[in-house]
Homo-oligomer: A and B are copies of this chain.
Amino acid sequence: MDISAVNSLSYEEFVEIFGNVVEKCPLVAATVWSQRPFSSISDIETAITDFIDGLPNAGKEGILRCHPDLAGWDLQRGMLTPESQAEQSHAGLTQLEPAEAAHISALNTQYKQHFGFPFIICARMNDKPTILLQLHQRLSNKPAHELVRAIQEVKRICHLRLHGLMCHSGPSHLNSTPPKL
């Protein structure tokens, strides 16, 4: 899909396609639609990061809290978004040995108790060993620093999801949407 096709989308189509570039936050796509026409994919990404950066810290924490645990409860009960499922699978987190799963679960719990949001890392840019290492290391960060760090990861995930959609999306994504405005 090229940028002129994106610029011709109604807000309903835009949210249908880009609504999960920030996990479970369709509000982000619904917001940046106001800034059409976009000159490029980077322009969309800038609008998204500007919106996130403009949120108060509680809002940034809110964005993090809309994410699932890595190798956590939503994965176990089959409730991950398709994007998260693919990303966690890519990093080998969907096929853990029981001992590994218990270890990650204990670290996730410790992280959430400490920071009040889940551990987030761009799974497509990491593998299982680096994810575990990061989880250990980031646990000792100061909360204000870790908030910044986690939002960086949200932006990395968003970058890859956005590029994936621009490469692969087309009319098939719109089969279930209403007639365009």
Contact = CB atoms under 8 A, between A and B. Distances in A.
Given A56-B54, A73-B178, A27 B112 contact: no
Given A27-B25, A27-B27, A34 B61 contact: yes
Interface stretch (A62-70, A130-138, A159-167): A62-70
A62 B77 contact: no
Contact of A112 (B55, B56, B58, B181): B181
Given A11-B117, A34-B62, A77-B176, 20 more contacts: A15-B65, A15-B66, A24-B27, A25-B26, A27-B27, A27-B62, A27-B66, A28-B62, A30-B61, A31-B55, A31-B56, A32-B58, A32-B62, A34-B58, A34-B61, A35-B58, A51-B56, A72-B178, A73-B177, A112-B181
A49 interface: no
17 contacts: A15-B65, A24-B26, A26-B66, A28-B62, A30-B65, A30-B66, A31-B56, A32-B58, A33-B61, A34-B57, A34-B62, A34-B116, A35-B58, A54-B56, A72-B178, A77-B176, A113-B181
A77 to B, nearest CB: 7
Interface in A86-133: 109, 112-113, 116-117
A30 B176 contact: no
Most B C-beta atoms less than 10 A away, residue of A28, A57, A181: A181
Given A65-B15, A65-B30, A65-B33, A109 B181 contact: yes
